Each structure stands twice: as C-alpha cells, then as structure tokens.
Amino acid sequence: MRFTKRFSGNLSVTKIRVIFCQAKFGDRAVCPRCNSRLVVKTYSERWKCRNCWYNFGLRTGTFLAKKRVPLRLWYEIAYGFAIGLPAYRLQKILKVGDYRTIYGSYKVIRQALIQNSREEFKKLKFGGITEGVKN
C-alpha cells in the first residue's frame, strides 16, 4: 500500500476534534482537577468546571499539552505511526518543514504507549500466576 497523500482530506477540523474529544473524555467531559462532570463548553476546545471553576482544554493533562502541532497534523502523524511509516518519509509526505516535528511526535506517541502499557500491566498484577509467570 502506498501512502502518498493525506488520508484525512475528507475529514473536517470539527470531526477530527470530535475524535480527539471522544478519545480523551468518552461520553462526557470531566474536569481534570476535581473529576467533576459539571462541565460547560465555552469555546471549541475549551471547557469550564462549575465545581472548581477550572478552565481546561482538549490537550490539558495529555501528552499533547505542550506541543504546538495542530490536531489535524496529529491525526496524520498517528496514522503514519500506526501503519509503520518512518518519520523521515512521513515528513516528506506531509510536507512538514522540520523533521524534528515528526520525530518528536513519534517519541510522544511511544511514551504514551509505554505509560499505558505499564498501567494496564499493573491492573493484571493481583498475586498468584498471571499467564504462566509467578508474581
């Protein structure tokens, strides 16, 4: 399979934002500070908690928090990572000026996967034998 053009061309920015919102919150938004569900949407990517009055965004508390990469580009990078494209080739396909943007994004995705796998492994530890390994 040749990946020679942007695959998210048929998705609008709002659809991509909805995909990221569902990945972060699920059905309803939750305040990252107090875990309250009394949340009001103020702007397209901003919410305000009615319990503690904390303003937060879609990227708050995630690995994407301090990265200045648009969500559409994150979507493209995640797809390139998922199908196993090297960062230098994805940089040429997406016509991103700096290779370090794609390489840094790949590092962020790897860190997120490692952290998630550690958390899932901790859930499996319950004493006794887990898949043939003594704990």
DSSP 60-107: TTSTTTT----HHHHHHHHHHHHTT--HHHHHHHHT-S-HHHHHHHHH
Chain segment 78-103, per-residue pLDDT in tens: 899 999 999 999 999 988 888 888 99
Same-domain status, 99 and 119: yes
Q: How many domains does the chain have?
A: 2
pTM of the model: 0.70
Tell me: do 84 and 94 sit in the same domain: yes
As a whole number of Å, the CA-based R_g of the chain is 18
Are residues 70 and 56 located together in one domain of the fold?
Answer: no
Cα torsion angle, 47, 107, 111, 86, sign: positive
The answer to whether 65 and 59 are in contact (CB under 8 A) is: yes
Q: Are 67 and 57 in contact (CB under 8 A)?
A: no
